[in-house]
Amino acid sequence: MSIKLNTISKFADLKTTRSTWRHNNQTIALVPTMGALHEGHLSLVKLAHTVASKVIVSIFVNPKQFGQGEDLDEYPRDLNSDLGKLEEIGVDLVYAPDADQIYPHGFSTVISVTGISEGLCGASRPHFFGGVATVVTKLLLHCTPDIAIFGEKDYQQLLVIRRLVTDLDLPVDVMGGPIVRESDGLALSSRNIYLSKQDRQTAPMLHKALMSTRAQLLKGVSMHQVASQTTDQLIKAGFKLDYFELRDANTLAPMDQYGGQPARLLIATTLGRTRLIDNIAVIG
Amino acid sequence: MSIKLNTISKFADLKTTRSTWRHNNQTIALVPTMGALHEGHLSLVKLAHTVASKVIVSIFVNPKQFGQGEDLDEYPRDLNSDLGKLEEIGVDLVYAPDADQIYPHGFSTVISVTGISEGLCGASRPHFFGGVATVVTKLLLHCTPDIAIFGEKDYQQLLVIRRLVTDLDLPVDVMGGPIVRESDGLALSSRNIYLSKQDRQTAPMLHKALMSTRAQLLKGVSMHQVASQTTDQLIKAGFKLDYFELRDANTLAPMDQYGGQPARLLIATTLGRTRLIDNIAVIG
């Protein structure tokens, strides 16, 4: 298959295209990704087409959001396969910047968001959200989208980016796209390919744990009453638990009991050598 | 005197004016200040008029760049006097944002520049450059100038901002404006009003020390040979020395000897209760 997609690797070229679009009063939606695209990403691209006249997908595996000992080197990369999927679904531009377009020689700037990026994934991956905030700021400044779309699978990340955009008055609306799941409930993730055959069969327990816990929470049972039994089952099944928490859906303030205001139930585990995260809304 | 200057305190109003200017193909220069304007600031405004068709002066005393025990509360503020001076010299817009326009409720984002902001003023004022980088990013994103002008008096700050703008690809040219001095050599500073009458007479020694040291450096004498005698004299005269250093003019890498490439001689002291900094170019 010959790829006819408009793929740009230099910021200067992106600027030219961007200016032409702006001149013609086009609106721009950006879907930032690290490649290894699956139906979850593609659902965000479809959403993008419904809210803007031009859609940019960025593909950049950001080294700054991987910590030491994490899977930067083996993170799945297959640009041609990604471009094939995007060609099929249709996008106006793929921005796959060379590393020096994001991190020029001597790059020394760090953007961090305190508060909301602490705890949860920020506790076990201390470099993660600093890396995310820095690269997302750059991608937003490069692409100048009217709307930027992020998956709710990385729920804390979505809130960190909302906070960042509010704080810096970046002229963009941040949208969250719902989690896409396999038929057995497993949330799609580029890391699912790491799972052994057996772990792949175990993995949907995560989503089931979220669902059953939510049902209990909505009945008024408290998190500390319901969580321990569920986590015991997960640990027995081979999961290593990082966190399993009920949080305020907007501020991520810890909660023990669902009280009517929008909440989010979030879980992070390791299964085999694969980090798996998932979350669901808790709304009565 | 009635002030006829266009003074804006809300980002939303600034955006409206900015859009009109952009629509009419005007270019914008921004001179960010903390008010307490003196001839040094006004020289930057004059420079701004020579490089852009519209000039914005921002006035915002940024709490985040003051450390504990520093002079935030007593930092001189006199908006009416500032506006009078700007009216006389002419500017197109004064942006004096309310605090919540820069730091909205729940503000949690920190922008820091590593490397170049360490050492020198970054060593004795550890919060300073983080505060500067954050507020300057916001002012640049609010005002979207084509050119932003900063005084060379805060030489390290100028380089930190250059690095920040390069790293984030902010679409602005950063210009440095030369230091303006009293006839006896004292660099103009909003903090000079803190000086007692006697300290005011002593203060020009700083500039003389820079001049005489530069003369020695240009003859090939090394910094460690020339510095100790000079610093002894300053200490005897009542200065408390923070640093006195020869640095590469672009990277701020420490140097002991002038070797032909552009260098900068920088000094920071306290006299009485007043922090005084100064610097000069060393070019053969």
Q: Averaged over A72-81, what is the pLDDT?
A: 91
Instruction: Based on the fold, state whether residues B96 and B62 are members of the same structural domain.
Output: yes
**Residues A224, A142 share a domain:** no
Residue A200 lies in a domain: yes
Q: Chain B contacts of A112, Cβ < 8 Å?
A: 109-110, 112
Q: Domain range for residue A235?
A: 190-282
Burial B151-169 (b: 16+ CB within 10 A, else e): bbbbbbbbbbbbbbbbbbb
Residues B133 and B208 reside in one and the same domain: no
| Subunit contact B108:A169, Cβ cutoff 8 A | no
Once rounded to an integer, what is the mean pLDDT over residues B241-266? 96
The predicted-structure confidence for B146-193, as pLDDT tens digits, reads as follows 999 999 999 999 999 999 999 999 999 999 999 999 999 999 999 999
Same domain for B196 and B165, yes or no, is no
Would you say residue A2 has pLDDT above 70? no
* Same-domain pairing of B37 and B145: yes
The answer as to whether B18 is a domain residue is yes
Is B33 within 8 Å of B41 (Cβ atoms)?
Answer: yes
pLDDT in tens, B184-229: 999 999 999 999 999 999 999 999 999 999 999 999 999 999 999 9
User: How distant is the Cα of B85 from the closest Cα of chain A, in angstroms?
Assistant: 30
**Does B41 qualify as catalytic in the annotation?**
yes
Q: What is the CATH number of the domain that holds A47?
A: 3.40.50.620
Question: How far is residue A252's CA from residue B210's CA, in Å, rounded to a whole number?
Answer: 53
B194 and B161 fall within a common domain: no
- A36 Cβ contact list (under 8 Å, min separation 6): A75, A76, A77, A78, A82, A190, A193
Judged by CB atoms closer than 8 Å, whether chains meet at B163 and A112 is answered as no
Q: Under an 8 Å CB criterion, which residues of A touch B? A: 11, 104, 106-116, 133, 137-138, 141-142, 163-164, 166-170
- Considering the domain architecture, whether residues B21 and B160 belong to the same structural domain is answered as yes
Contacts of A11 in chain B (CB under 8 A): 169
Domain boundary residue, one of B151, B177, B203: B177
Same domain? B41 vs B135: yes
CATH number, domain containing residue A250: 3.30.1300.10
b/e code B207-235 from CB counts within 10 Å (16+ = b): bebbeebbebbeeeeebeebbeebbeebe
Kindly state whether residue B208 falls inside one of the protein's structural domains.
yes
Chain B residues close to A105, C-beta within 8 Å: none
Find the mean pLDDT for residues A203-208: 98
Statement to judge: residues A163 and A198 lie in one domain? no
pLDDT in tens, B19-32: 999 999 999 999 99
Residues B167 and B216 in one domain: no
**B171 shares a domain with B94:** yes
pLDDT tops 70 at residue A1:
no
User: How much is the pLDDT for A284?
Assistant: 76
Residue B173 lies in a domain: yes
Domains contained in chain A, number:
2
Phi-psi region of B133 (alpha: psi -120 to 50; beta: other; left: phi over 0): alpha
Specify if A37 maps to a domain: yes
pLDDT at B209: 97
Judge if pTM exceeds 0.90.
yes
Please tell me whether residues B140 and B245 are part of one structural domain.
no
- Any domain includes A79: yes
Per-residue confidence (pLDDT) for residue B69, from 0 to 100: 86
Is position B116 within any domain? Answer: yes
* Complex prediction ipTM: 0.92
Count CB-CB contacts under 10 A for residue B54: 22
Predicted confidence (pLDDT) per residue in A251-261, tens digit: 999 999 999 99
Model pLDDT for residues B32-89, shown as the tens digit of each residue: 999 999 999 999 999 999 999 999 999 999 999 898 888 898 899 999 999 999 999 9
Asked if residue A182 is part of any domain, the answer here is: no
Which of B104, B111, B166 is opposite residue A111, by nearest beta carbon?
B111
Residue A171 has pLDDT above 70, yes or no: yes
The answer to whether A26 and A92 have CB atoms below 8 angstroms apart is no
Instruction: Give the distance between the most distant pair of CA atoms in chain B.
Output: 59
CA A84 to chain centre: 21
